[in-house]
Structure 1
Amino acid sequence: MAVFVLDRYGKPVMPCTEKRARLLLERGRARVHRVLPFAIRLIDCTVDSCALQPLRLKLDPGSKITGMALVREKDDGVAVVMNLFEVIHRGRQISEALTARRSMRRARRGRKTRYRAPRFLNRKRPAGWLAPSLQHRVETTVAWVKRICRWAPVTALSTELVRFDMQAMENPDIDGVDYQQGTLAGYELREYLLEKWGRKCIYCDKENVPLQVEHIHARANGGSNRSSNLGLACQPCNQKKAAKDIREFLKKEPARLARILAHVKRPLKDAATVNTTRWALLNSLKSTGLPVEAASGGRTKYNRIRLGVPKTHALDAVCVGKMESVAGWTRPTLAIRAAGRGSYQRTRTDKYGLPRGFLMRKKSVRGFQTGDMVRASVPSGKKAGTYVGRVAVRASGYFNIQLGKEVVQGISYRHCTMVQRADGYGYSFNMDSIM
């Protein structure tokens, strides 16, 4: 990955390679400013003496994961990838926490124990209000855009504004939709169907095979081209069904028939989430003062297929907007998981909402807090070795360390060294983009 570089006054200059950053540190010309994402600060240089090139930060907003890509734009239209990020949102956890809090308050009122009076009768939602789980997605994305702009001289932004145009898919004859005409025709609908049906055949559940658009109610029998009448099928199943009625075709599989008929009318939840937050995100990005390019999901998929780029959230961000070609996309992706900064809750509850046990009354234990990045060097014993990861503190002084998908338990605070203070996020590297 490219290393972020700041001048002696903390202003961003052009990122450099890992080798050049290593040489600057060895020669004493720079200091480590941040570990993840890695950034250095020069001690003998200012931004006025550095040559800057146009950098663009591209975003692919999603309901669970938002892909980000920092690219350098050349005059010939080539986008050179410098850094790849995937911000993993915690909207589901926020929604579940609010539901649990609402249930506990209702239970306390029902038991006539100590409680706060309800306030839902005198609340008014302002214009543009979003649910907390959706507002979190917007604020987290904008927060990381501003962070990257503090570490790199970003000159422009690109974001995917319309991922799925529900009106255009329900009425294919609608006028004025640019990407339904010409080269991009059909890309929005195909991507929507792939997401909705899980990228597998609806009749045999085959995956990783070429899939064809299937009319649930055949066109020969008066079926429409609306998305509510479309599915995905492999070639053998599509030919075998032909113009048969789906009830006749699946009469020996009533469970599958019921599942398809129930799912075909159900809209894609992720599409609703993205469509709800797209304008709020766009307006927030415009408030940064940088020029913002808004592109469609159809163009993103068209660029990805045309350039032969694998499908990941970060690489989808690379393909957002207008571009001729791409270079340097085989890089590791930094996964940034929103973990929060703890809660005010001081006890757990059972299924009835009653207190169960007690939590620590302080966040800091022996100078460490949950979420800190630490390096643990255990000299001997069953857990001998060196571990670098996110720590979860315990009052006993024996901590747990998160190493990607693995957790090492029972590491004494005496073996831990602080690497980076907690900032509400967990970091790990995803190597899918270089496979």
Structure 2
Amino acid sequence: MVYVLNVYGKPLMPCSSVIARLLLKQGKAKVKGRTPFTIQLLYKTETEYVQSLTHGLDSGSAKVGSAVSGEKGNIVYMAQIETRYRKARWLNRKNSMKKDRFSPTMTSKIHAHVREMKFVQTVLPISKTIIETATFDPHALKNPAVLTNKWLYQKGINYGYANTKAYVLTRDGYCCQHCKGKTKDKRLEVHHIIFRSENGSDEEDNLLTLCKTCHDALHRGEVALKKKGKKKGKLNHATQMNSIGIQLLKRTHAEETFGFVTKEHRQLMRLPKEHYFDAVAITTQGKEPTFKTSNVLFKKCVSYGDYQQTKGVRSEQVMPTGKLFGFRKFDKVQYKGNDYFIKGRMSTGYAILMDTEGNKVDLKPIPKFSKMKRVSARKSWMTIPKIILSFYSCAT
């Protein structure tokens, strides 16, 4: 399957690899992109008839499924995108005071969805987009008993208190749990046993009452607590999905569908549980799919720039961010007939390579820059095509 653009860069219907090879050989087209392979015509066509294509997007917090089908259920595109998570830095909180601001991680996840939608529209004539959204109830996921007793929604652990801080102070009897009042410091503060920067929870099991004297001494490393805290649960993805779905519908003109509909259609199609297969069920809207392509584009979002400038306890080692021997980190290269991405570079002329999932590839001897060829410069995502539909009959 080869994607085709007209002489003005407008997407047309894809063609077979045989036709694309003839067009390139006769000088009637040029290569526009390698992954996915896209050509652009060098002559004006008399007619530019295109079919009505539907883009289905299985939204997600960690992974996103994407697929495109025609009116008869012909699948011409599939992809799976792994979104990016940026670890909290805890040193740049001023911007968080701004109104209507998402965290860098949430902004990146929303942009990953929108960027995939725009990319598909650059290689295929999309006429309609359908997005599967989901709404999660974190309270019910944490405590399933609320599903049978609705009163528990209102009578939780903080019932009768202004907030969690007030509950913890009352629980601890308004007394420092370290010195028990020996410092005579009347100013009380609520401390995270496991620090928030270490993924500590905001729940009462990870909170403790300390006086300001003990609290300051603890952060200076002069005292230590013997109590065990609690890390955050696994509801962050559910919380993010509640916002991602709303933002996608606000920022696009897409139609909305729901997970239970997708599940029924996918099971009737007898497709395995994968994000790109969910997208197939979304885009076909119940029609039996006919796979015209056996390739799935696996993409992983990465940072657009190099944000780590230095390394070391006191940042005494400067990290090279420019080109080294003509290569940059995340450049796609070809080494011994296989495609990789650059994970690390050595000033001695060697490189550490990785796959699209960021896993280090152990190659011996260590690859040298002089023996590899750069396929494409670094982009905001790493893309590798994989053939996954060998058990289906795919017409091209």
If the length of structure 1 is used for normalisation, what is the TM-score? 0.62
Q: Is the 8 A contact 2:280 2:289 kept in 1?
A: no
Mapped pair 1:394 → 2:346: yes
The number of residues matched between the two structures is 306
CA spacing shift, 1:372–1:323, aligned 2, 3 Å: same
CA distance in 2, matches of 1:426, 1:68: 16
CA distance in 2, matches of 1:356, 1:39: 45
CA spacing shift, 1:225–1:15, aligned 2, 3 Å: farther
Mapped pair 1:85 → 2:40: no
Q: Is the 8 A contact 1:332 1:429 kept in 2?
A: yes
Q: Is the 8 A contact 1:293 1:321 kept in 2?
A: no
CA distance in 1, matches of 2:288, 2:322: 46
SS in 2 for 1:49: coil
CA-based RMSD of the aligned residues comes to 3.3
CA spacing shift, 1:42–1:308, aligned 2, 3 Å: same
CA spacing shift, 1:420–1:123, aligned 2, 3 Å: closer
2:6 is matched by which residue type in structure 1?
D
CA distance in 1, matches of 2:248, 2:322: 33
Unpaired stretches in structure 2, ≥5 consecutive residues = 153-232, 392-396
- Structure 1 residue 225: deviation in Å? 8.5
Trace 1:22-171 onto structure 2 (pairs within 5 A). Answer: 22-46=21-45, 49-74=47-72, 79-91=73-85, 94=86, 96=87, 98-99=88-89, 102=90, 105=91, 120=94, 124-127=97-100, 129-161=101-133, 163-164=134-135, 166=137
Mapped pair 1:316 → 2:278: yes
| Residue matched to 1:275 | 242
CA distance in 1, matches of 2:345, 2:42: 35
CA-to-partner distance for each residue in 1:186-223, whole Å, 9 max, x for gaps? xxxxxxx9xx9xxxxxxxxxxxxxxxxxx998xxxxx9
2:275 is matched by which residue type in structure 1?
H
- Which structure's residues are more often helix, by fraction? 1
1:387 is matched by which residue type in structure 2?
N
Q: Is the 8 A contact 1:82 1:328 kept in 2?
A: no
| Residue matched to 2:191 | none
Mapped pair 1:424 → 2:375: no
Mapped pair 1:368 → 2:324: no
- Structure 1 residue 7: deviation in Å? 1.3
CA distance in 1, matches of 2:354, 2:31: 23
- Structure 1 residue 283: deviation in Å? 1.5
Of the three residues 348, 351, 355, the one matched with 2:315 is 355
CA distance in 1, matches of 2:237, 2:93: 31
Runs of 4+ in 1 over 6 A off after TM superposition: none
CA spacing shift, 1:275–1:216, aligned 2, 3 Å: closer
| Residue matched to 1:224 | 148
Mapped pair 1:331 → 2:291: no
Mapped pair 1:411 → 2:367: yes
CA spacing shift, 1:277–1:403, aligned 2, 3 Å: closer
Q: Is the 8 A contact 1:390 1:402 kept in 2?
A: yes
Q: Is the 8 A contact 2:55 2:126 kept in 1?
A: yes
- Structure 1 residue 224: deviation in Å? 2.9
Identity of aligned residues (%): 24
2:372 is matched by which residue type in structure 1?
C
Q: Is the 8 A contact 1:58 1:157 kept in 2?
A: yes
